[in-house]
Amino acid sequence: MTQPSLLRTVARRLFGYGVLVFFAGVFIYPFLLTIASSFKSLPDIQANPVALLPSPEFGGATLEGIARLNSPQIRFPRWALNSAITTVAVVVLRLTLDATAGYALARLRFRGRRLLFAMVVAVMAVPGVVLLVPRFLVMRQLGILNTYAGLILPLAFDAFGIFLMKQFFEQLPREIEEAAAVDGASTWQVFRHIMLPMAAPGLIALTILSTQGVWNEFMHMLIAAPSEPDLKTLTVGLAGIRGAFGEAPPWNTILAGSIITTIPIAVIFFIFQRYFVQGLATSGTKG
């Protein structure tokens, strides 16, 4: 390679890396600013809203924003407990129901199977906000508003989870099921002891997606417990902080709560990301 060609190659690479670094900074900067602002005092945030370091002029870094999370107006531990209970319950129910329904649609032959799957796909195409009012009316009729049942049960069935597990089970070889059936295993035994362990990557992908979705759910949590402060989740509670403090909202507290809320999902994703990608890639190879 001649020197001019080498220089052009190096210049193109440097330009490409520069563009990537620029756009990476555009996406990362707001997150870094959120972390920095959670350790600033309120006067510091007002005077230096886009600074990444707390100003010594206003006392430097402070934990007042984090300390306020457990004040009488902000019951962050209670909100975190409600979010944890709701998320764990919904994820367990989704894993059970979605895996069972996905296996039935993928392997069992019964009348109306294709129609049922078409309805599942159709539900995925409906925006969630369209279902909010009917969901609220149904919950009110059942008497589960302002209860844990209202927070959990409407989210226990997930059309995307059924679709994901159906696609995953269809990738697994039928020969294993046939061999187990010859040995006398029932359909439930084949599903429980053979197919579920083999579907572990798909179940992990569903777990991560469901955990992230339920943990960050806002609209359903808002309508499911509209008049019960003890049932507020993190998303609803953090959204209501600004209104509770009127014209002087504690931005450092709001941002600190947002960062703490993000940590569990980030940890789960980084631990299981390999299985998550594997599960999605496998389930998407067959339509």
Asked if residue 267 lies in contact with residue 96, where contact means CB atoms within 8 angstroms, the answer is no
Instruction: Render pLDDT for 219-238 as a digit per residue (tens, 0 to 9).
Output: 999 999 988 889 999 999 98
Taking the C-alpha atoms of residue 157 and residue 46, their distance in angstroms, rounded to an integer, is: 44
Confidence at 13, pLDDT banded by 50, 70, 90 = confident
pLDDT at site 3: 65
The Cα angle at residue 112 between residues 109 and 114, in degrees rounded to 5: 80
Evaluate if residue 66 carries a pLDDT over 70: yes
In order of their start, the domains of the chain are 3-68 (no CATH), 71-235+262-283 (1.10.3720.10)
Q: Give me the long-range contacts of 35-38 (CB less than 8 A, separation at least 24).
A: 35/255, 35/259, 37/251, 37/252, 37/255, 38/65, 38/66, 38/252, 38/253, 38/255, 38/256, 38/258, 38/259
141-188 tens-digit pLDDT: 999 999 999 999 999 988 889 998 888 888 888 888 888 888 888 888
Q: What pLDDT was estimated at residue 141?
A: 93
Nearest in space to 258 (alpha carbons), one of 229, 219, 218: 218
The string of pLDDT tens digits covering residues 177-231 is 888 888 888 888 888 888 888 888 888 888 888 999 999 999 999 999 988 889 9
